[in-house]
Structure 1
C-alpha cells in the first residue's frame, strides 16, 4: 500500500478561498487499458476524459501501471508542463534509467515519451503554468511572500482552525537547519 500527498497551487483569484474537502469513490475515477498499460485519471482532464475530483485550474494527474517493458508516448494527450514521479519500477529516457522515488520535470509535456519497465507504476501530473510567480516554503504556496510569512506565524502559534476528527499531534514548522 502507498499514498501520495499532492499539493496544488491555486490560481491567484482562489488563493484566499476557504478550505474544502471532497470525497470521490474509487469507482468514479476514470480508468482504462491500452495494451499492457493501465491508466487512471486521478484529477483534471486528459485523454479526452475528465476526473470528478474538483480542481480550480487546467491540470491533470494520471497513474500509469505497466505489466511489460514498453515505449510510452503520450505527449500529444497532455498540455503545459509535466512532472513524472516513479513510485515503483523504472523508466528509461534519453539513454538514462530512473528508478523509484525519482521525479522528472519537462517544461513541455509534448516531450513526454519514455520506456516503462515491467511492473512499474508512475504518476504524471501537470498543466498550464500560472502567469504569476509562486513562492513555496514547506507546506505554504502563494503569490505573496508576505502571505507565506503570515501562514508560518499562524502555524507556529497553532492559530489555524482545528480539523474536526483529526487528533494527530502537532507537527512543528521545520527549522532552517532541518531544510
Structure 2
C-alpha cells in the first residue's frame, strides 16, 4: 500500500511583477506540520531593466524562510535589518506581533542581467509565540549542518533531524532538509522524521511503489515514519514538516493567526499605517480588497 496521502502540483500565481509556483496552502491540505505557505520562485531570467521589487508589506503570526538556489535578494525590515541573501544562505524573519519588510534586487545588480530561483516559505508560530517581539536571523552556507550518507548529500536548513540541529531559531519541532543525489539511490529516512512530512521535488525524479514522480510535485506522506523511496541520479528534493499545531490557523493576505480577531486588528492597523515602517522606504503595498464570493478565512490562493 502506498504511503503517499496526497500529490500537490505547483499552481502558477502572479505576485506582482513575478510569477511563482504555489504549493501550500492547498484546498485539501492547509498545513504540513507548522508549514503553512510555500512558493517556488522561478527559475526566472531577468533582463537588465527587470528587477524584483516587493514593496514594504506586513506580517503577523509567522516566520518567513527564504532559501535561494540562484540569484540575490536584498531584505530590509522595520527592525532596521539590511541583509542580502545569496544562494545556500537562509533569511529567517519572525513576525510575531507585527513586522514590515521589503524584498528587492540589490542596487549593484539592478542594471544587470540576473537569475532568480528559490523557495519562499512561511512557518506558523505556536499560539504562545504569536504575539512575540519580531526578530531576524541570517545563516551563511557554512553555518548549516551538511553530511553525506550512502551517496546522498544532506543539508539541514532549519530545525532538527537525527543528531543534527540548524542554528536557525525555530519555535516548534520541525525540519526543512535538502537531499541531493548524483546516482540512483534508495533512501530510508522515515525512522528519523516526526510529525507530518512533505517531500518537494525540485529537479530529477524519485520512485515509490512502482510510480515515478518528477519536478514541481509535492508529496504528502500518510505516515512520516514509513518514508522510503528511490532517488534517481541528479535529483534534488526537500523534506519539510514536523509536529502539527494543535489549533486551527487562519490566513489572510500576509497574516496568520489562531484567532481571527488578530487578523482583523492587523488589517485595520495596516490600513491606518500603524505598523512599524522600513527605514528609508516610502512605498507600501495596500491591503487587498475583500474578494467577492470567497470567505475571508479562506484567502491565500489555496485552490
Matched residue, 1:17: 132
Matched residue, 2:190: 75
Kindly indicate which of the two structures has a greater share of residues assigned to helix.
1
> What is the CA distance between 1:147 and its match in structure 2?
1.8
Matched, 1:57 2:163: no
CA distance in 2, matches of 1:89, 1:174: 40
Instruction: Find the residue that maps to 2:132 and give its secondary structure.
Output: coil
Matched residue, 1:8: 123
Task: Answer whether contact 1:36 1:66 (CA < 8 A) is retained.
Answer: yes
Kindly indicate which of the two structures has a greater share of residues assigned to strand.
2
Task: Answer whether contact 1:156 1:173 (CA < 8 A) is retained.
Answer: no
TM-score (norm 2): 0.54
Q: 1:150 aligns with which of 261, 265, 268?
A: 265
The unaligned stretches of length 5 or more in structure 2 are 1-69, 71-116, 293-299
> What is the CA distance between 1:67 and its match in structure 2?
0.7
TM-score (norm 1): 0.87
Would the alpha carbon gap of residues 31 and 167 (structure 1) be closer, same or farther in structure 2, given more than 3 Å must change?
A: farther
Task: Answer whether contact 2:271 2:286 (CA < 8 A) is retained.
Answer: no
Task: Answer whether contact 1:24 1:52 (CA < 8 A) is retained.
Answer: yes
- Post-superposition Cα deviations, 1:38-78, rounded to whole Å, max 9, x if no partner, equal 10011111121111111111111100011112221100011
> What is the CA distance between 1:166 and its match in structure 2?
6.2
Moved more, 127-136 or 13-22: 127-136
The unaligned stretches of length 5 or more in structure 1 are none
Matched, 1:114 2:229: yes
Task: Answer whether contact 2:247 2:258 (CA < 8 A) is retained.
Answer: yes
Moved more, 5-14 or 129-138: 129-138
Moved more, 70-79 or 133-142: 133-142
Instruction: Find the residue that maps to 1:176 and give its secondary structure.
Output: coil
CA distance in 2, matches of 1:160, 1:21: 17
Task: Answer whether contact 2:144 2:155 (CA < 8 A) is retained.
Answer: yes
Aligned CA RMSD, in angstroms, stands at: 2.3
Matched, 1:129 2:244: yes
Matched residue, 2:25: none
Instruction: Find the residue that maps to 2:244 and give its secondary structure.
Output: coil
Q: 2:154 aligns with which of 39, 43, 47?
A: 39
CA distance in 1, matches of 2:152, 2:249: 34
> What is the CA distance between 1:14 and its match in structure 2?
0.2
Matched residue, 1:27: 142
CA distance in 1, matches of 2:204, 2:270: 37
- Post-superposition Cα deviations, 1:115-148, rounded to whole Å, max 9, x if no partner, equal 2121111110111112212222343221112222
Q: Which has the higher contact order (CA 8 A, sep 6+)?
A: 2
What is the total number of aligned residue pairs between the two structures?
179
Task: Answer whether contact 1:10 1:57 (CA < 8 A) is retained.
Answer: yes
